[in-house]
Structure 1
Amino acid sequence: MSQVSEQKASLRRLMLEKREKQQSSLGANLAEHVLASGLIPHQAIIGGFMPMRGEIDIMPLLHSLHQRGQLLALPETPPPGQALIFRAWTPTTKMLPGRYNTQHPDAPLLTPDFLLIPLLAFDVSGNRLGYGGGYYDRTLAALPGVFRLGCAYAIQQTAAIPTEPTDLPLHALASETGITLFRQPPLKPEHP
């Protein structure tokens, strides 16, 4: 195991403990900040996630985006070594069990151009620490023009995340306390 891998593993353990003490209901505050920010274009296809393992609850945001007519998709976890695939989602979509105790929509595939990304930690430069499976690294590499909005509790910020060449930074971070912009977003998608 490389030094960076060891540093990441240690930080993961620490951040999992910190996150366990948070209230997932703070996701309602996150939703208010994201909606007020105007970051999400109305024509964008949003790739979200089903919160699990203590992640901040983004369901209030997904429901609000659905109500305004946004196209939404949630990930299906493929076999290890592959990028996530996204399937269309609405609040009434039937969900199927997936790998690692996940669930995904029983619906057609959609390709998002704006991603809401779960994480364990983030730093002031927009670097993110995931769970270590590489699913989001491969997904972001496969969708290079996608807007990357991390979703987390403010307490998940850390001084610095050790990075590797495959780690793509976030464009912005949404938490219960507000929105932090890290870099210029890609051009807005143009959907009919």
Structure 2
Amino acid sequence: MKSGARNQAFAARKAAFAAGQGQAAEILADFLAPHSGRALAGYMPMRTEIDPLPAMAAHVGTVGVPVIIGEGQPLRFREWSPGCAMVPGAFGALIPPEGAWVTPEVLIVPLVGFDRRGYRLGYGGGFYDRTLEGLRARGPVLAVGFAFSAQEMPEVPIEATDQPLDVIVTERGVITV
């Protein structure tokens, strides 16, 4: 079921990407503003992913980006700032080659599809589910899905290991779950 849903969501995301992201980054930055001073982790957008970089750059506080340590492992986050040195990491995502590790209190999560229950459809590797599970075991973390509104699905197929998001931000606004 997830494979078919993922194909539909990729097509919707591709079409939305071609149309432009509108005010999505500004809406995300406004949403994150009350969380200034908290450690934030975002992501380096790839292909047709919506771009969180302007919101990450506007954040007052430490910002990290994901580093894939290995298959079946949770993500770690290395400190990032606009203009810092970057190298290709696993799956081609850019990562800082060195720097401090960050434990995020707020996590911007990329996705392929989402529903209003807060569930996300990812790429299938389970990296963010493992990461959120581990972070939540340590204490509170705010999981913010960032996507085009066209990526919304009536219901994401879920498994017992899927971790829900707390909120989803799109170019149309904030969806609280």
* TM-score (ref. length: structure 1): 0.84
Q: Please point out which of 73, 98, 108 is paired with 2:100.
A: 108
Letter in 1 for 2:29: L
Report what 2:165 is aligned to: 170
**Compared with structure 1, are the counterparts of its residues 31 and 25 closer, same or farther at alpha carbon in structure 2 (3 Å cutoff)?**
farther
- Corresponding letter in the other structure for 1:51: P
Check whether the contact 2:111–2:145 (CA below 8 A) recurs between aligned residues.
Answer: yes
Match of 1:85 among 68, 76, 90: 76
> Which of the residues 151, 154, 174 maps onto 1:156?
151
Alignment of 1:6-155 (within 5 A): 7-23=1-17, 26-27=20-21, 29-37=23-31, 40-65=34-59, 69-106=60-97, 107-144=99-136, 145-155=140-150
Q: Please tell me the residue identity of whatever aligns with 2:154.
A: A
Unaligned runs of 5+ in 1: 1-6, 183-192
1:148-172, Cα deviation, whole Å (9 max, x unpaired): 0000000000100111111111100
Shift in CA distance, 113/27, structure 1 to aligned 2, threshold 3 Å: farther
Distance 1:45 1:123 in 2: 26
Per-residue CA shift, 1:168-189, capped at 9, x if unaligned? Answer: 111000011111111xxxxxxx
Report which of the two structures shows the higher radius of gyration computed on alpha carbons: 1
Deviation, 1:128, is 0.6
Alignment length (residue pairs) = 173
Q: CA deviation at 1:92?
A: 2.1
Which range moves more in the overlay, 169-178 or 89-98?
89-98
Identity value in percent: 34
Q: Determine if contact 1:18/1:156 at 8 Å carries over to the other structure.
A: yes
Root mean square deviation, CA, Å: 1.6
Gaps of 5+ in 2: none
Separation in 2, partners of 1:86, 1:38: 18
Q: CA deviation at 1:39?
A: 6.3
Q: Cα gap change, 1:40/1:9 in structure 2, threshold over 3 Å: closer, same or farther?
A: farther
